[in-house]
Chains A and B, each alone.
Chain A
Amino acid sequence: MMSRSAGNRKTFSFTGEGKDIPSIGKKREKGKIVASLEEAFRLAEVRDGMTISFHHHLRDGDLVVNMALDVLAGMGIRDLVLAPSALFPVHESLLRHVRSGVIRSIEGSVNGPVGRAASEGLFSSPVILRSHGGRVRAMQAGELRVDVAVLAAPAADAMGNLSGISGPSACGSLGYAFSDAQYADRVIAVTDNLVHYPAVPFSIPQTLVDWVVPVESIGVPEKIVSGTLRVTRDPLRLIIAEQVAKVVEESGLFTGGFSMQAGAGGISLAASACIRERMKAAGIRGSFISGGITGQSVEMLEEGLFESLLDVQSFDLEAVASLASNRGHAEMSASFYANTASKGCVVDMLDVAVLGATQVDTDFNVNVNTESDGVLLHGIGGHMDTAAGAAVTVVVTPLFRGRMPMIVDRVLTVTTPGETVDVVVTERGVAVNPRRKDLLENLRGKGIPLMEIGDLKKMAEEFTGIPKTPSFGEKIIGIVEYRDGTVIDTIRQRI
């Protein structure tokens, strides 16, 4: 490369198309396709100690994470940091790569068996747990530096335009994958559905993708998206859902332009159904539903109850089909959804969020990570993001599950701080955070069984007795990072 000066500007002489910056140009038929994951990893110059990221849109049907780690292990790579947006029970087979030293640590959500293994002290360094928004923030801030992102793509073209709405492993939105594509040094797309160029409409553009690897299969369809998620018939959950709807109706926010987020959990789904009936009865037209999108959200869009759906992950087949066809149904990235360090995220625009919990304490702190026995079994998801953003955050839980009280003096792990939680709804009573006097005023005298949270706790213990606190060792096995990057809590090894 010859350089010379022209005025103040350093310039370079032309040496031939594609010489300085390689372009695909005339080799367009082949595009970025490479024959195998191994070859892609070689091109990406994967070395020991690198950080490899994945998205979890294929949920428990994902084949790509295990496939990639098997290949990396075969290549003799060691000491990797895994940075998945989440892991599922299907990823239990990663544990042998941890034991053999291929994987050193995990920065990302761990659900099920990998979490349990972490709680037993399998990893030498703690799992870093981040929310959906917090994960993007950490990438943006350079705290989570991803060397190689491996992105499962239900549809891809030879140039690396990626989409989730078609193909045998269709998953709908690719919301959590955007940040990986944007911030990773190298991006490898893995697909079982190579389509003609261009793969319009695409979610992730070719400008961010280095290589495309066609494989036999990336997922098990029936474990990726469920059939229609039916509203629960469990009467206890329905009672809680009814109370949520009542709280929402009287919250002062239940007017035109209303917006909400409610997950796909049993109570949340039922609560949406109850809110839907009340919106119809009151003739209210809302603005948007955000977060994980279900067939029920789609029906509410199509009924005109809401103007749009902002979809970071699509839970069922109806949601996938709607994302492909409904104009009001938009895909959004995790950053757009929940990143507090972005220039504006959706959670801040939310009126009501309905969220679950594995424990709530009398300071309204919520634990979604560890079970009552102290074992790390769940990721954060968007919990702390939506709680912080929504005007009214409603946490739903039965008073007790089995013999374990769900309302306790102090949660084992603080995932979401009590100062961002406004209402706790159980089947036997509703507690409003004393910080929210305005809300309390709105809800009083409306036939809602309002109680002090301490009384809810006592009532739970009347049924269950007072549980012994599980015993923990000294070793920290998990760090719960708040969405702003500070540490809100740590999780210790179970002994």
Chain B
Amino acid sequence: MPTLANYLIVSGGLFSIGLVGVLLRRNILIIFMGLELMLNAANLSLVAFSRFNLGQDGLPGYNAQVLVFFIITVAAAEVAVGLAIIVALYRMRQTTHVEDLDTLKF
């Protein structure tokens, strides 16, 4: 049977992959996908903690699953707004490469 530690390691690995994507890739869409991976890693550890810490009735803590549900909803809204911003950006600058978007760079 997998232990809680196994799930936390997988969750941390997924988070690290997302972080590497955000730090190393220069395409703004891929950076956005890295953010989604990091959100999902957090969801995995929430569900794992809820399953391994049973409440007094012997059932998982469903509050954690409600929180995951909210995270998924907010992430969907965030993706819609973020992609609209990327499309508006692309219309103005014809690029999705972050190194070409350096107007605010000091």
Decide if A and B are genuine partners: no
Q: Which residues of chain B have a CB within 8 Å of any CB of chain A? A: none
